[in-house]
Amino acid sequence: MSNALFDTAPDFSQPIAVLKHCHDRIRKQLQTLQNLIGHLPRHGADVDAQKAAQAVLKYFNNAAHLHHEDEEQNLLPMLRATARDADASLLAELAPGILAGHEQMDRDWTIIKTQLEQIANGTSATLSASDVAHFCDSYAAHMVVEETHIATMARRLFSAEQMAQLGSAMQVRRGITPDLPHSQVPEQQTAAVSNTVADGVVLADLRLDYGRASLTEQDVLDDPIDQFGKWFEEAMHAKVNEPNAMSVATVDADGKPSSRIVLIKQYDQRGFTWYTNYASQKGQQLRGNPHAALLFFWSELERQVRIEGKVVQTAAEESDKYFYSRPVKSQIAAIASQQSAPIADREQMEANYDAAAAVSGEHPLRPAHWGGYRLDPVRIEFWQGRRSRFHDRIVYVKQADGSWVKERLQP
């Protein structure tokens, strides 16, 4: 009566087929649940019933959630970034229900799981027919929607490169090392440690051909801040990993550049704002040369935004407002740390924090050396990855009268 947990599966080069295969395995486990409903009243929690319960538990505890994560973290975000017009409208209509369905099925599984665990160890022969029916019916209807609309849309819209990316993400989630291009290289190349990585893959061969979207002059808005807002919202909607993370590049008195990742806290027509220690390396460099460059890179959408301009400190009132909105422990950390200055060890850092906490109590005061910077942009470039490295680049340049002129750049 039990079902084999593993059977022959499609290759991950066919990720949509793999997802369908996952559905088929789920259907087998749902059928086992339904079989148990008829078996238990006649035979109780016998060996067959225990094995069946163990099989269902094993699958839904260890494998089913991976299928949900494939959809939530990869398939749906990729479709959101790719779908247009009627496809985008249909996706917007269906996706919330799919995500809500995942949550509901997880809750329903918790109820059934408790019953199955007792059957699996032979201590109970009770399995609620209504709970099983609700779980099976909900799951079956859910999978029909995904197969009818989501899988069909993905097959139609995704490029070969997107399919490869989806398949690789699914492999990683399952602890499988994805196949990389050009893994077979001449021995004399793999011997050079400086330009190779694991399995002899040459760094120069590590490339992913982009192809999710395009960017034309007609696509972009007239104002670059509005266009940035549009892309930022799309990055948020696609669940890009930390869409607010940006590189800040500064230059010291000798003309030597340095960069670091910080989190943007605000953007508007005045510019792009972040907060930090004014005495840090970037703060010292900005005092000597207020010109800086920002970079956002949203790999999931194959997009980057380059921003250049002059940096000024925000008003004390703005710095206060943000500082006091932070958690108290973060406020104390800003007081305790002399950012970028050397220190003997972690223990000394902890001691400095404890000392600052003892003095500050529950209401720390913003130190004068901590506050906001705002970059007033004069140049903003939007970059969309395209196939064969023939990328789309649209740049806006601010004019003397404050207006913006946009033009296309060659890749």
Alpha helices in 289-388 (DSSP H): 316-323, 328-336, 346-360
For residue 194, the model assigns a pLDDT of: 46
Predicted confidence (pLDDT) per residue in 230-286, tens digit? 999 999 888 888 999 999 999 999 999 999 999 999 999 999 999 999 999 999 999
Please state the domain count of the chain.
Answer: 2
Residues whose CB falls within 8 Å of the CB of residue 359, separated by 6 or more in sequence, listed in order: none
Q: Evaluate whether 313 touches 292 at the Cβ level (below 8 Å).
A: no
For residue 368, the model assigns a pLDDT of: 94
Evaluate whether residue 31 is within a structural domain.
yes
- Split at pLDDT 50, 70, 90, the class of 219 is confident
- Split at pLDDT 50, 70, 90, the class of 210 is low
Residues whose CB falls within 8 Å of the CB of residue 345, separated by 6 or more in sequence, listed in order: none
Domain boundary among 136, 159, 174: 174
Same domain, 260 and 112: no
- Residues of each annotated binding site: 260-265, 275-276, 282, 304, 322, 326, 330, 339-340, 383, 389-391, 393
CATH code for the domain in which residue 127 is found = 1.20.120.520
Same domain, 145 and 291: no
Which H/E stretch holds residue 251? strand 245-251
Evaluate whether residue 279 is within a structural domain.
yes
Same domain, 251 and 372: yes
Is pLDDT above 90 for 184?
no
DSSP conformational letter for 403:
-
The widest CA-to-CA distance across the chain, in whole angstroms, is 86
Give the whole-number percent of the chain exceeding pLDDT 90.
72
Predicted confidence (pLDDT) per residue in 344-379, tens digit? 999 999 999 999 999 998 899 999 999 999 999 999
Evaluate whether residue 262 is within a structural domain.
yes
Evaluate whether residue 92 is within a structural domain.
yes
Evaluate whether residue 276 is within a structural domain.
yes
Evaluate whether residue 201 is within a structural domain.
no
CATH code for the domain in which residue 398 is found = 2.30.110.10
Predicted confidence (pLDDT) per residue in 42-86, tens digit? 999 999 999 999 999 999 998 888 889 999 999 999 999 899 989
Supply the mean pLDDT for the chain.
Answer: 88
Tokens of 107: 């809750």
Compute how many other C-beta atoms are within 10 angstroms of the C-beta atom of residue 405: 9
Same domain, 253 and 398: yes
Could you list the residue range(s) of the whole structural domain that residue 377 is in?
224-408
CA-CA distance, 267 to 277, in Å (whole number)? 19
Q: How far is the CA of 213 from the CAs of 81, 82, 93, 165, 196, in angstroms?
A: 8, 6, 21, 15, 31
Evaluate whether residue 49 is within a structural domain.
yes
Ranges 155-169, 177-191, 297-311, most confident:
297-311
For residue 176, the model assigns a pLDDT of: 84
CA-CA distance, 336 to 349, in Å (whole number)? 8
Same domain, 252 and 126: no
Same domain, 339 and 255: yes
SS3 content of the chain, % helix, strand, coil (to 5): 55, 20, 30
Same domain, 103 and 249: no
Is pLDDT above 80 for 207?
no
Q: What average pLDDT does this structure show over 115-144?
A: 94
Q: Evaluate whether 232 touches 394 at the Cβ level (below 8 Å).
A: no
Query: Which residues, in sequence order, are bridge partners of residue 187?
Result: none
CA-CA distance, 77 to 297, in Å (whole number)? 16
Q: Which pTM was predicted?
A: 0.54
Q: What is the identity of the amino acid at 116?
A: L
Domain boundary among 174, 198, 232: 174
Q: What average pLDDT does this structure show over 87-110?
A: 92
For residue 187, the model assigns a pLDDT of: 38
Same domain, 236 and 146: no
- Residues of each annotated binding site for substrate: 265, 322, 326, 330, 389-391
Same domain, 284 and 370: yes
CA-CA distance, 244 to 305, in Å (whole number)? 12
Domain boundary among 109, 139, 174: 174
* Dihedral sign computed on CA atoms, order 41, 47, 50, 56: negative
- Split at pLDDT 50, 70, 90, the class of 160 is confident
Same domain, 336 and 276: yes
Is pLDDT above 70 for 182?
no
- Residues of each annotated binding site for FMN: 260-265, 275-276, 282, 304, 339-340, 383, 393
Taking Cα atoms as reference points, which of 168, 140, 182, 102 lies closest to residue 24? 140
Same domain, 379 and 238: yes
Evaluate whether residue 85 is within a structural domain.
yes
- Split at pLDDT 50, 70, 90, the class of 41 is very high
* Dihedral sign computed on CA atoms, order 341, 315, 289, 296: positive
Is pLDDT above 80 for 337?
yes
Q: What average pLDDT does this structure show over 162-179?
A: 84
Tokens of 280: 């840090």
Query: Which residues, in sequence order, are bridge partners of residue 191?
Result: none
For residue 180, the model assigns a pLDDT of: 46
For residue 9, the model assigns a pLDDT of: 57
For residue 63, the model assigns a pLDDT of: 86
Same domain, 170 and 230: no
Is pLDDT above 50 for 209?
yes
